[in-house]
A and B are shown apart, each in its own frame.
Chain A
């Protein structure tokens, strides 16, 4: 199981939960499991959400492995100049 930390603004889409635990071995599976657990998250997760995995902001890679002890944060979309 992976603990996914959400930003506080998503609480209203997750019945108040700020940390959601899902069964997932990859980033893609994790996102899909989040939507299954809280369908209201789908539009937000379909947008360009930024994912920080073990301290590193990743911008691609649904196939990126996620371990049960991974630190996972969903962040607001980030873009650079």
Chain B
């Protein structure tokens, strides 16, 4: 749309009405995955490998099946054979085949009349293992003599002579990096490591599945994408997708980790084997941490050349990332593509290795790969700014990507708002606060592409003029409110007159999950188009009633009106009036829209954090934290601020404390929140937010998508602040108190 239209004033867009799911959630009325029950329901328990890598010699379920109340046991033998590619990957993770590939890998499952009986029965399933050598750390997995996780896993991209656990290799760039480094006054190269972290959603995975011997099934499930659940479960079980109807529950967080399946098909497999009785499968927190997608761990080399005035002349990144024992799960491609996305650098080179390790199958986690890349690149940029006594925001403004810049991953940028975030951060009062002893300030920027994706939306006019919008993108961050606002704005009706429902797979065309920060962008764009379609029909109904051409009617303030004096004199016909008569004027009025929308707008953000480090303990206190991010347009600013704050909070946890800790035996040592240290309210100050609005021309209201970018800058921002406070640079996450203290005592880089 033309830029001048993007500056228009709105009636509802940008307001902060009550949340449609608020009362349900605070009163406990909202139904999550584990809240769904059905008559005759059985309960599932999963038998998991206690070994990081082991051949499964034998599974004997005789004793389990003999336990009263046990109705079915399933193993891989109950699943079809012959799958390939990602379908085989999914099946291999759902139930192990010949080899258990990580601690917690499912090898069998039991359905019984109570959860306790199922758990007891799971313990009676006798599994004989032949333990194999394992490898956990990404750099260990890169050794030529490392235990081989998946023999023959390398695809055609992997150069000959690569270590055996490298499954995929990539390289890309532009310019002449050697010439660029020669032009620099300062060239620095450092290595950075990040540990795997979990998405940490508050609601464990849960579902209720029912499937008959006829292959027809139902599933109620906590997910970010129920069409993905349908397609993936159908593939794993060997049934037709259309025979499986999947209804999403309310969702207690996903952050990318609920865009795929883990144990969901097991509930259906058990049901099919138990005569079609419904089976509920609810993961414990320990199962969630051991066997659902954390993000990758990474080892990254970055080299940057900079002139004395801060101009970046060249940069190179070599990343190694493991995404578990499954091919294609490491986000190394995304990480490399994001690494220098904030900059306009003439000479660039990227290399990436996807590495297999005996860890769970990684899943997407909020801007997959980008936070790790930002940690490496933004830490080094900061270090070089300090070495050259340059202001870190000025250097980013000097080198920052703008409209028309050739991006680090190839194409030119359209309208983007990185510079605006940097300018706003520099102008914010937080940036002027004078710091005391042991205190330091860190700055970092971040990027995410955002995404369109397959989208289908339907809208129906009610008999009283109220409107129902049916969408297929589960609401994980406020999309029902923002979709209702955009629909009401388009129709010219009150926000309260619109109800948005997330509907089951039988009710709409295929929808991709709520991922890639796409729900408000893509479902919003489709909802606006669906509303426009309904408006056209309502204008036609009014025209027919008035006996004038449909083209002579326009829509204004929630009513059909004559387009001008020549159209005739008729009082406005409201949406309620049209709705009340629609049965006798041509039938129900609805609008729908299906597309894979273009017009996606990338999102940039800049964070500023002040910390104080206790030199006696290494403990880091966040004094103040500022998130500045370009939303394109904030449809419901309170939710946008919530996304900014949530991303910052998760990034702070990743930076400071969160990590998967494995023992020498390859088993996860901290599969509980007591030991897996998530940030809690007392760890965080109020996170200040500034919403920048550089509207995206590809969306009718300028939306970019805000969910992911906010987690990318916190990791380096914290590292930069700690370096400023202590004089020591930590290049390995998490920057937990013992590591900070050790670095301070050593007086050297950590």
Bound-complex Cα distance A40 to B169 (A): 16
* Given known contacts A60-B454, A60-B596, A76-B333, A81 and B409 CB-to-CB distance under 8 angstroms: no
**Count the A-B residue pairs with Cβ separation under 8 angstroms: how many?**
104
Q: Do the beta carbons of A81 and B411 come within 8 Å of each other?
A: no
Task: Report A-chain residues with C-beta under 8 Å of the C-beta of B515.
Answer: 79-81
At the interface, yes or no: B97 with Cβ under 8 Å from chain A? Answer: no
Q: Which of A12-45 contact B (CB under 8 A)?
A: 13, 40, 43-44
Bound-complex Cα distance A80 to B517 (A): 7
Bound-complex Cα distance A55 to B156 (A): 28
Q: Which of B169, B256, B413, B600 lies in contact with A81, CB distance below 8 A?
A: B256
Q: Do the beta carbons of A76 and B170 come within 8 Å of each other?
A: yes
Bound-complex Cα distance A81 to B519 (A): 11
Residue interface mask B293-327, A partner, CB < 8 A = 1 = 00000000000000000000000000000000000
Q: Do the beta carbons of A79 and B411 come within 8 Å of each other?
A: no
Q: Which residue of B lies closest to A80 (CB)?
A: B516
Q: Do the beta carbons of B410 and A79 come within 8 Å of each other?
A: no
Q: Which residue of B lies closest to A72 (CB)?
A: B411
Q: Which of B330-344 contact A (CB under 8 A)?
A: 331, 333-334, 336-337
Residue interface mask B592-616, A partner, CB < 8 A = 1 = 0000101110000000000000000
Task: Report A-chain residues with C-beta under 8 Å of the C-beta of B102.
Answer: none
Task: Report B-chain residues with C-beta under 8 Å of the C-beta of A1.
Answer: none
Q: Do the beta carbons of B410 and A80 come within 8 Å of each other?
A: no
Q: Which residue of A lies closest to B349 (CB)?
A: A8
- Nearest-CB distance from B521 to chain A (Å)? 11
* Given known contacts A56-B598, A80-B256, A75 and B516 CB-to-CB distance under 8 angstroms: no
Bound-complex Cα distance A68 to B412 (A): 17
Q: Which of B75-98 contact A (CB under 8 A)?
A: none
Q: Do the beta carbons of A77 and B598 come within 8 Å of each other?
A: no
Q: Do the beta carbons of A81 and B367 come within 8 Å of each other?
A: yes
Task: Report B-chain residues with C-beta under 8 Å of the C-beta of A5.
Answer: 410
Mark the stretch among B29-37, B444-452, B478-486, B742-750 that contacts chain A. B444-452
Q: Do the beta carbons of B596 and A78 come within 8 Å of each other?
A: no
At the interface, yes or no: B673 with Cβ under 8 Å from chain A? Answer: no
Q: How large is the interface on A (under 10, 10 to 19, 20 to 34, 35 or more residues)?
A: 20 to 34
Q: Do the beta carbons of B157 and A73 come within 8 Å of each other?
A: no
- Nearest-CB distance from A19 to chain B (Å)? 11
Residue interface mask B249-266, A partner, CB < 8 A = 1 = 000000111010000000
- Nearest-CB distance from A58 to chain B (Å)? 6
- Nearest-CB distance from A31 to chain B (Å)? 16
Q: Do the beta carbons of B334 and A78 come within 8 Å of each other?
A: yes
Q: Which of A43, A64, A80 lies in contact with B449, CB distance below 8 A?
A: A80
At the interface, yes or no: B365 with Cβ under 8 Å from chain A? Answer: yes
- Number of contacting residues on B, CB 8 A? 46
- Nearest-CB distance from B295 to chain A (Å)? 9
Q: Which residue of B lies closest to A11 (CB)?
A: B171
Q: Which residue of A lies closest to B454 (CB)?
A: A60
Q: Do the beta carbons of B170 and A61 come within 8 Å of each other?
A: no
Q: Do the beta carbons of A71 and B411 come within 8 Å of each other?
A: yes
Task: Report A-chain residues with C-beta under 8 Å of the C-beta of B172.
Answer: 7-9, 76
Q: Do the beta carbons of A8 and B367 come within 8 Å of each other?
A: no
Task: Report B-chain residues with C-beta under 8 Å of the C-beta of A57.
Answer: 411, 449, 451, 600
* Given known contacts A81-B364, A81-B368, A76 and B516 CB-to-CB distance under 8 angstroms: no
Bound-complex Cα distance A76 to B368 (A): 13
Q: Which of B199, B367, B414 lies in contact with A80, CB distance below 8 A?
A: B367
Q: Do the beta carbons of A56 and B171 come within 8 Å of each other?
A: no
Residue interface mask B355-368, A partner, CB < 8 A = 1 = 00000000011111
Q: Do the beta carbons of B334 and A79 come within 8 Å of each other?
A: yes
Q: Which of B336, B364, B366, B452 lies in contact with A59, CB distance below 8 A?
A: B452
Q: Which of A8, A44, A54 lies in contact with B173, CB distance below 8 A?
A: A8
Bound-complex Cα distance A81 to B362 (A): 12
At the interface, yes or no: B417 with Cβ under 8 Å from chain A? Answer: no
Name, among A61, A73, A75, A79, the residue most crowded by chain B CB atoms within 10 Å (CB to CB): A79
Q: Do the beta carbons of B708 and A81 come within 8 Å of each other?
A: yes
Bound-complex Cα distance A56 to B416 (A): 12
Bound-complex Cα distance A54 to B334 (A): 20
Bound-complex Cα distance A8 to B177 (A): 14
Bound-complex Cα distance A44 to B328 (A): 13
Task: Report B-chain residues with C-beta under 8 Å of the C-beta of A77.
Answer: 333
19 more CB-based (< 8 A) A-B contacts, given A60-B596, A76-B334: A7-B170, A7-B171, A9-B170, A43-B156, A56-B598, A58-B452, A60-B454, A71-B411, A73-B409, A75-B337, A76-B172, A78-B337, A78-B449, A79-B334, A80-B368, A81-B256, A81-B259, A81-B365, A81-B515
**Subset of 27 A-B contacts with CB under 8 Å:** A7-B170, A8-B173, A9-B170, A9-B171, A13-B156, A54-B411, A55-B412, A56-B599, A57-B449, A59-B453, A59-B596, A61-B598, A64-B598, A71-B411, A73-B411, A75-B333, A76-B333, A76-B337, A78-B334, A78-B449, A79-B516, A80-B368, A80-B448, A80-B708, A81-B256, A81-B259, A81-B365
Closest 7 CB pairs between A and B?
A81-B256, A80-B516, A60-B596, A76-B333, A73-B410, A81-B364, A52-B411
